[in-house]
Copies of this chain bind each other. A is one copy, B any other.
Amino acid sequence: MPLSNIRIVLVETSHPGNIGAAARAMKNMGLAHLVLVRPALFPHADATARASGADDLLGAAKVCDSLEEALSGCGFVVGTTARARSLPWPQVDPRACAQRLMAESAAHPVAVLFGRERTGLSNRELEHCHLAVHIPTDTDYSSLNLAAAVQVIAYELRMALAEPPTAPEAAPDPEDQPADAEAMGLFYRHLEQVLVEVEFLDPEEPKRLMRRLKRLFGRARPEVRELNILRGILTAVQRRVRR
């Protein structure tokens, strides 16, 4: 089933009703995997009520303490964003996003992140994403309800189902597969460490530089083998520096 590799991740949702409505929107469109990162209130009667017949999705929902845990095993991650970012991320509309997700999900689990009702995703959270998706809205009133945003993305995924998938041929060698979110996280930690050791990283503004580098490497989408080379380079630098 082409949609079964797609997870919907809701980050720090305040209102349990929105979780329920999101589950309903998902199930209507054929999505099943709901992941909740630190929900304010869950389980909750409001979630169950708004889920209507989709309470099985709530029952099966995975509740996580960290975004890293929620993204475990994912080869491709999309973040929803309503605002212009100081450091713009590669950004598409829901239609292009759905096509990309369908193609990627043929090869590995993928995730779509939805942020908090008021403030969305933080820049740090967006750094986990290969792509940002922006739902077009009226310029005068752009605060989409969380479940409505899930509905739009889920709808586009359903529509994309009908179209012949343009999936890349799954390469047989796992080393040729894109590194997953966990491996990328470890790489970024290692990179940051080395940048501190060679005194390149400005301790005043470590995040901004790391965000730029994450955006750059996120675009490249290193394969497992390539990531191993990059990690090897970092280790070689550390060995020489520490001599």
The reply on A205 being an interface residue by CB < 8 A is no
Which residues from 13 to 38 on chain A have a C-beta closer than 8 Å to any C-beta of chain B? 21, 24-25, 27-30
A40 / chain B contacts, CB cutoff of 8 Å? none
Chief secondary structure at chain A's binding surface: helix
The reply on A100 being an interface residue by CB < 8 A is no
A73 / chain B contacts, CB cutoff of 8 Å? none
A213 / chain B contacts, CB cutoff of 8 Å? 229
Tell which of B151, B221, B236, B237 touches A148, judged by Cβ atoms closer than 8 Å: B151
CB-nearest residue of chain B to A93: B159
Given contacts A217-B220, A219-B219, A226-B216, contact A233 B148 (CB under 8 A): no
CB-nearest residue of chain B to A161: B136
A78 / chain B contacts, CB cutoff of 8 Å? none
